[in-house]
A and B are shown apart, each in its own frame.
Chain A
Amino acid sequence: MSTRSVILQHFEDVAKEQDKELRPLSDDLPLVDTGLDSLCFAIIVARLEDELGSDPFSTAEDDSFPVTLGDFMRLYEHTAK
Chain B
Amino acid sequence: MTAVSLSSSLNSAKLSSHRFLADRNTIVPLRDLIRGSSLCSRLDELRGRSALVLTRDQLSAALAMIELDGVCRRLVLWPSDLPAEQVSSILATASIDAIVSDASGVQVDRAVAYFVSSGSHLTPINFRERGSHRTEWILLTSGTTGRPKLVMHTLSTLAAPILAGVTVTRDPIVWTTFYDIRRYGGLQIFLRAILGGGSLVLSGTDESTTEFMIRAGTNGITHISGTPSHWRGALMSGSARRIDPQYVRVSGEIADQRILDDLSQCYPRAKIAHAFASTEAGVAFSVEDGLAGFPTSLIGRPRADVAMRIEDGSLRIRSTRMAVRFLGEGSKSLTDNEGFIDTGDMVERRDNRYYFIGRKDGVINVGGRKVHPEEVESVLNSHPAVQASLAKPRNNPITGAIVVADIVLTDNVTSRIRASKELNSTGALKTELLDFCHRALQPYKVPATFRFVESLAVAASGKLLRRNA
Chain A residue numbers with a CB within 8 Å of B366 are 39, 42
Please tell me the number of chain A residues within 8 Å of chain B, measured between CB atoms: 14
Beyond A43-B448, A50-B449, whether A18 also contacts B443 by CB under 8 A is: yes
Q: Which of the listed residues A43, A50, A55 has the most CB atoms from chain B within 10 Å of its own CB? A: A43
Q: Beyond A39-B444, A45-B398, list 8 extra A-B contacts (CB 8 Å).
A: A17-B438, A39-B367, A41-B398, A42-B396, A42-B398, A42-B448, A43-B402, A45-B397
Which one of B396, B404, B438, B449 has the greatest number of beta carbons of chain A within 10 Å?
B396
- Contact: B399 with A47, CB < 8 Å? no
Instruction: Check if B397 sits within 8 Å of A38, measured CB to CB.
Output: no
For residue B383, CB closer than 8 A to chain A, the reply is: no
* 25 pairs, A vs B, C-beta closer than 8 Å: A17-B438, A18-B443, A38-B367, A38-B399, A39-B366, A39-B367, A39-B398, A39-B444, A41-B398, A42-B366, A42-B396, A42-B398, A42-B402, A42-B448, A43-B402, A46-B394, A46-B402, A46-B404, A46-B449, A47-B448, A47-B449, A50-B449, A55-B397, A57-B397, A58-B395
Interface SS of B by simple majority: mixed
User: How many residue pairs at the A-B interface have CB separations less than 8 Å?
Assistant: 38
Pick from B394, B398, B438: contact of A38, CB below 8 A: B398
Question: In chain B, what residue has the closest Cβ to A50?
Answer: B449
B200 to chain A, nearest CB (A): 47
Collect the chain A residues with CB atoms within 8 Å of residue B449's CB: 46-47, 50
CB-CB < 8 A to A41: which residues of B? 398
A50 CA / B427 CA spacing, docked (Å): 14
Cα distance, A47 to B404, chains bound together (Å): 10
Partner of A17, one of B367, B399, B434: B434
Q: Are B448 and A46 touching (Cβ within 8 A)?
A: yes
- Nearest CB on A from B249, distance (A): 38
Main secondary structure of the interface of A (DSSP, over half): helix
B-side interface size class: 10 to 19
Output the least CB separation between A25 and chain B (Å). 18
The digit string for B379-413, where 1 denotes a CB below 8 A from any CB of A, is: 00000000000000011111100101000000000
- Mask for B327-366, Cβ within 8 A of A = 1, else 0? 0000000000000000000000000000000000000001
B451 to A: closest C-beta gap in Å: 8
Residues of chain A lying within 8 A (CB to CB) of residue B443: 18, 39
Set of chain B residues within 8 Å of A46, measured between Cβ atoms: 394, 396, 402, 404, 448-449
Which residues of chain B have C-beta atoms less than 8 A from A57's C-beta?
397
Please, which residues of chain A bring their CB within 8 A of the CB of B397? 45, 55, 57-58
Name B364-382 residues within 8 Å CB distance of A.
366-367
Q: How far is the CB of A17 from chain B (nearest CB, A)?
A: 7
- Using an 8 Å CB-CB cutoff, how does the interface string of A39-76 with B read, 1 for contact, 0 for none? 10111011100100001011000000000000000000
CA distance A50 to B402 in the complex (A): 13
Q: Mark B298-331, 1 if CB is under 8 A from A, else 0.
A: 0000000000000000000000000000000000
Q: How far is the CA of A38 from the CA of B434 in the complex (A)?
A: 19
The 6 closest A-B pairs by CB, nearest first: A57-B397, A46-B448, A42-B398, A42-B399, A43-B448, A41-B398
Q: Which residues of A contact B367 (CB under 8 A)?
A: 38-39, 42
- CB-CB < 8 A to A38: which residues of B? 367, 398-399
> Chain B 241-281, CB within 8 Å of chain A: the 1/0 string?
00000000000000000000000000000000000000000
A42 to B397, CA, bound (A): 7
Chain A's closest residue to B404 (CB) is: A46
Q: List the B side residues contacting A58 at CB < 8 Å.
A: 395, 397
Cβ–Cβ contact B399 & A39, under 8 A:
yes
Residues of A within 8 A of B444 (CB): 39
Contact A45 B434 (CB under 8 A): no
Contact with A along B211-232 (1 / 0, CB 8 A): 0000000000000000000000
Residues of A within 8 A of B448 (CB): 42-43, 46-47
Least Cβ–Cβ distance between B276 and chain A, in angstroms: 33
A38 CA to B400 CA in the complex, in Å? 11
Residue of B nearest to A19 (CB): B443
In the complex, what residues of A have CB within 8 A of residue B398's CB? Answer: 38-39, 41-42, 45
Whole-angstrom CA separation of A55 from B397 in the bound complex: 9
Which residues from chain A contact B438 at a C-beta distance below 8 Å? Answer: 17
> Cβ of A18: which chain B residues have Cβ within 8 Å of it?
443
In the complex, what residues of B have CB within 8 A of residue A39's CB? 366-367, 398-399, 443-444
Distance, CA A46 to CA B392, complexed state (A): 13
Chain A 12-51: CB-based contact to B (< 8 A → 1; otherwise 0)? 0000011000000000000000000011011101110010
